[in-house]
Chains A and B, each alone.
Chain A
Amino acid sequence: MKRRTFLLAGLSTGSALFFGWSLLPPRQRLVSETLPDTPGGAIALNGWVTIAPDDTVTVVVPKSEMGQGIHTALAMLMAEELGCSWERVRVEHSPIDKIYGNIAAIVDGLPFTPDQDNALVRGVKWMTAKTMRELGVMMTGGSSSVRDCWMPMREAGASARVSLIAAAAARLGVDADTCHVDQGVVVCGTKRLRFGELVAEAVAHRPSHITLKSAAEFTMLGKSIPRLDSAAKSRGESIFGIDVKQEGLVYAAVAMSPTIGGSPSRFDADAAKRLPGVRAVVALSGSRYGDPAGVAVIADSWWRARQAVHALAVQWNAGPNATLSSATIMQQLRAAAATNDGLPFRAFGDAKAVVGSAPRAVHATYEAPYLAHATMEPMNATVLVRAGRAQVWTGTQVQGFARQAVAHITGVAEQNIDLHQQLLGGGFGRRLDVDYVAQAAAIAVALPGVPVQTIWSREDDMRNDFYRPAAVSQLSAAFDVNGRVTAVTSHSASQAPFKRYSNRVGFLLTEAGPDKTTAEGTWDQPYEFPALYSSHAEIDLPVPVGSWRSVGHSHHGFFVESFIDEMAAEAKQDPAAFRASLLQKHPRALAVLQLAVSKSDWGQPLAPAPDGQRRARGIALHASFASTVAEVAEVSVAQDGTIRVHRVVAAVDCGFPVNPNIIAQQVESAIIYGLSAALYGEITIEAGRVREGNFDAYRPLRISECPVIEAHIVPSMDVPSGIGEPALPPLAPAIANAIFALTGMRLRSLPLRMPKAGSST
């Protein structure tokens, strides 16, 4: 990363801040049409930062904080270039504006591999980026936040710095080149002027060009700066959507169809209305956003609303899906994986023919179930509709779609809706959907002028999710007589989560065409094969599906990396050495593999587990969200078949590590979230209903089951890439591969369960 100078055409007019914001060129991401909030006399120097007279620097953050530490990371990008004092930095959610639209996530969602870099691919990427700038879709997802803000946030900081220096130079009558910034102060020779006393004048000094720091000049980026939110969260002071208070706030509880696609046939509204505190009973028709049909009760406390929902004694029309079950769905997916070739994502070297005529071949079928997100904070939103305006308080990963949903439901124009973004008590992709916001709006419409907070119970939340799709994949590998791989084919079947999502939120750009998330993780990996064929059959099913942390990679990572291990066994090679042999043309991935191998003592003897059982290691490597992660898991199997994961060593290349501590935290997070899914995660459909309703049946990992986790970061000067998700996909296969090393048994279905004695794998 070198110093980069940018010409800011059109920004040098020197006009006052409040003039001409909307006259600026549409493609810039510096200055928004909507002004950031500026309480306490603060002044916005652009759409990303305001500075108050008392030197408080408020970084305007468009990304949702759902645990991933993004507010701290974005504030670091700003502070590095602005040169302010970190102690004076706070963050504030941005308004909705095109400059905050996520470009990185959508460009990364195009079905190209990192190796595909020709004129056509570049053209498509350029056109997509241009379109995304125009659309301005605010989205926190796809592990894209730092990548997406890497340039605009630093440019905004540098621009503000130049303005402050210019203001100081003008006031002192010196050349700006003789001044520099130091911890929130502009220093011109012996004179020192605080940012806070310069900001009002700085507004008039719009820079014509800025120069970003080179990596060698960084003083904050690359350091483990403590998170800005740890203290408040440790004191229970942070406010999530469910904690929002408003004058006259009332609460809603809901009954939603227990059968997917069902609707209420009868309910006793009077019985509910007779109960204390009940204000209204609202029939819910459901909406395009995915909120199901049902009935809501509004009362002066949630507990009263909840009791009144029981009193409704709702009877349901089961609808068309009353016989739907996981068993029949899996049969359907198996049949599709076997017979329906679907859509090819990548094909070269006539891999199918090579496999068909190979002297040696390995074939395997892998399966994964539906998964719920199960964020700790159940879905909720607070909505006030009054006199042609609406206020919304919620935690969402997509502020713009949330506002659109409220507009759609209430009929209030978007520009008359204020969305007050809150902290998210977990996201993992669940809060990319706005069903709960649409539903809360439909409920609030019943009581105009009264703020209504709709809160789902855990059961509501778990049974009305947009699940990680169940999937089946058939993998084949061909070998020549010398045991060298000659071809790999992957053919999978599942629902298309991003296509369904795009349909719900009305995002036309990704509604048609191939859904990359169905097959990601199969055709985009760094391994070199002489021939490859990867295709996916999209199956339409009534079960709602969406983006679950790492999306398609979450199951394809397990399928592909377990199968690579099967190939290594067939080739009679060490699994790490076998992978290395396939990565010779991909030095970054190879370096990640080698780091995991060395840090995990791969190949060295392992002491037995505390219960005396043998331990073994398994390895897996997976590339996703422009990053690569390799993990080595140390596993034992108890006498009763319980799988125990003792230690996971992860090596990651996520580009330049902006904050190594937060990167390590996200690696721990993805591994633990992935471990819950690998060992226990399964949502089952029976008679059209989701069986699991709470944490007793859908079991997350608990502290006693948590392995020791080490995160090792490959030094890199590349542009930062994803870290919220990439450590998840290699976790399950690393465990399954360790179980194979330990027992010779190949577990090809998630969650991982040792077969009962006497049964076959």
Chain B
Amino acid sequence: MSAREPAEITREMMRDITRSGTPEVALEITLNINGRSAVVAVEPDTPLLWAVRQTLGLTGTKFGCGIATCGACTVHLDGVPTRSCVVPVSAVGGRKIITIEGATGTVAAAVQSAWTSLDVPQCGYCQSGQVMAAIALLNATRAPTDAEIDTAMQGNICRCGSYPRIRAAIHAAAQALG
């Protein structure tokens, strides 16, 4: 992912950011999130996750690891499942962000319905990320094989062990979608 440099940042400010690792100046950054435009005033290196959770108050997207290894923070950027804990808000630009709160449409409904009827969640903490990853998979591949499920869901950890039901629910959702 290439970080797009917002125009407002001067060369001098960037040097400062690079040197200290802690930007001094918050910027007003406009995000396209769940079909709406939202302005967040945060340092440009703030991970999208924290802007979404704390600045915008959308807490469905979860913090798990901070290094893109667990998938709890998965959102869609232009439809691509993305770990929001490592994407600086400054790099998002005008791309469409969809969080679990904005997951709508037939695929999302089929996934969430299968998740519910098969009782996939246990503690539920990782499930926003799991559901977002599954929606992206089914948007791209309408009848995924087990191997395709493995590949798509590999980055999403569940410590409660909902994996067998995640697999079954993805197959069930695929079937419901026809």
Residues of A within 8 A of B (CB): 65-69, 226-227, 229-240, 242-243, 245, 251, 275-276, 301-304, 307-308, 310-311, 374-378, 423-428, 455, 457-458, 661-662, 665, 668-673, 676, 694-696, 700-704, 706, 708-709
Contact = CB atoms under 8 A, between A and B. Distances in A.
Contact of A307 (B21, B156, B159): B21
A395 to B, nearest CB: 9
Given A276-B26, A425-B124, A665-B122, A702 B157 contact: yes
Contacts of B131: 234-236
Interface stretch (B5-13, B67-75, B76-84): B67-75
Given A236-B101, A236-B131, A376 B119 contact: no
Interface in B53-73: 54-55, 57, 59-67, 69-70, 72
A376 B122 contact: no
A301 B50 contact: yes
B127 interface: yes
B123 A423 contact: yes
B106 to A, nearest CB: 16
B100 interface: yes
Nearest to A708: B164
A703 B59 CA distance: 25
B37 interface: no
Q: Which A-B residue pairs are the 8 nearest by beta carbons?
A: A236-B60, A672-B161, A233-B124, A425-B125, A67-B122, A67-B123, A236-B100, A233-B121
A673 B159 contact: yes
Nearest to A72: B119
Given A303-B46, A668-B161, A235 B112 contact: yes
A226 B121 CA distance: 11
B149 interface: yes
Contacts of A706: 161, 163-164, 167
Q: Which of the four size classes fits the interface of chain B? A: 35 or more
Given A239-B59, A303-B50, A668 B165 contact: yes
B54 A236 contact: no
Given A245-B59, A665-B119, A668-B165, A426 B150 contact: no
B31 interface: no
Which of B24, B160, B166 has most chain A Cβ within 10 Å?
B160
B33 interface: no
B172 interface: no
A374 B122 CA distance: 15
A235 B100 contact: yes
A424 B126 CA distance: 12
A232 B116 CA distance: 9
Nearest to B158: A376
Given A226-B117, A374-B159, A376-B157, A703 B167 contact: yes
B141 interface: no
Contacts of A233: 121, 124, 127
B145 interface: no
B175 interface: no
Contacts of A428: 159
A273 to B, nearest CB: 13
A233 to B, nearest CB: 3
Contacts of B20: 311
B123 A703 contact: no
Contacts of A303: 42-43, 46-47, 50, 54
A242 B162 CA distance: 21
A660 B161 CA distance: 17
A251 B119 contact: no
B120 interface: yes
